[in-house]
């Protein structure tokens, strides 16, 4: 996923390799933990740790400035999906206060080859994504909550990820930025 100077070009990485790797992580976690809830939590945590690093890559690559409105944030998250997963989710269902929106995926590269067995009906297969968003936003001093409301793996029409603005982390804003 690196730029100039390395042989790998972002666009040339086969998404299947990524999809399968993700699948093996989830499968391994299911083996390691007895409880599906724990797996969900673990995935979220792993995503968080990815997010706090990935945000630097996003900023370095896009040169985006700070968001002063949650609509900006939504668009930037959307472009982040484009950069890192090659998909453009649609932004819908804004709450009247403008502090909540949904990202809708018609296709989801993470679940391309996945069928969820019945006994794992509580598993949030893609729970790494909310973690990534939370981690990334936290690094730019914004606390958000993020969860799945619809999931194609659970026979919904599309996958819907809900994002809610919680607060600005005022204490963490670096000097010269506030």
Partner 1 sequence: MVIYGVYIVSKSGGLIFNHDHNVPKIEVEKSFNFPLNIKLNYENKKVVVAFGQKDGIHVGHVLTTANGIAVTGRELEDGRDILEMLEQPENFPITLKFSRAKMTTNEKIFLASMFYPLFAIASQLSPEPRSSGIEILEADTFRLYCYQTLTGIKFMIVAEPSQSGMEIFLKRVYDLYADYALKNPFYALEMPIRCELFETNLQTLLETVEKSGINNV
Size of the site for partner 1 (CB under 8 A): 24
CA distance 53 to 136: 7
Single out the residue of 111, 96, 86 nearest to residue 22, CA to CA.
Answer: 111
Question: Binding of partner 1 at residue 168 (CB under 8 A)?
Answer: no
Distance in Å, CB of 53 to partner 1, minimum? 4
β-partners of residue 77 are: none
- What track of x and - describes contact with partner 1 for positions 47 through 86 (by CB under 8 A)? -----xx-xxx-xxx-x-xx--------------------
User: For residues 91 and 66, what is the distance between their CA atoms, to the nearest angstrom?
Assistant: 20
Nearer to partner 1, 3 or 82 (CB): 3
Q: How far is the CB of 2 from partner 1 (least distance, A)?
A: 5
Q: Residue 150 in contact with residue 158, Cβ under 8 Å? A: yes
Q: How far is the CB of 145 from partner 1 (least distance, A)?
A: 20
Q: Which of 61, 65, 51, 76 is nearest to 130 (CA)?
A: 51
Interface ranges with partner 1 (CB under 8 A): 1-3, 5-6, 52-53, 55-57, 59-61, 63, 65-66, 139-140, 172, 174-178
């Amino acid at each position: 996923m690196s730029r100039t100077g390395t042989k790998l070009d972002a666009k040339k990485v086969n998404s299947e390799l990524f999809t399968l790797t993700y699948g093996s992580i989830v499968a391994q976690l299911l083996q390691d933990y007895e409880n599906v809830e724990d797996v969900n939590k673990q995935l979220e945590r792993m995503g968080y740790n990815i997010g706090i690093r990935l945000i630097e890559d996003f900023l370095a690559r896009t040169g985006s400035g700070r968001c002063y409105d949650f609509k900006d944030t939504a668009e930037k998250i959307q472009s982040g999906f484009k950069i890192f997963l090659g998909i453009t989710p649609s932004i819908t269902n804004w709450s009247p206060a403008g502090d909540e929106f949904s990202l809708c995926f018609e296709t989801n590269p993470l679940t391309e080859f996945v069928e969820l067995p019945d006994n794992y009906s509580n598993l949030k297969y893609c729970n790494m994504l909310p973690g990534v968003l939370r981690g990334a936003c936290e690094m730019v001093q914004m606390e958000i909550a993020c969860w799945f409301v619809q999931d194609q793996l659970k026979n919904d029409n599309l996958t819907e990820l809900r994002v809610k603005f919680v607060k600005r982390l005022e204490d963490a804003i670096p000097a010269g930025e506030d």
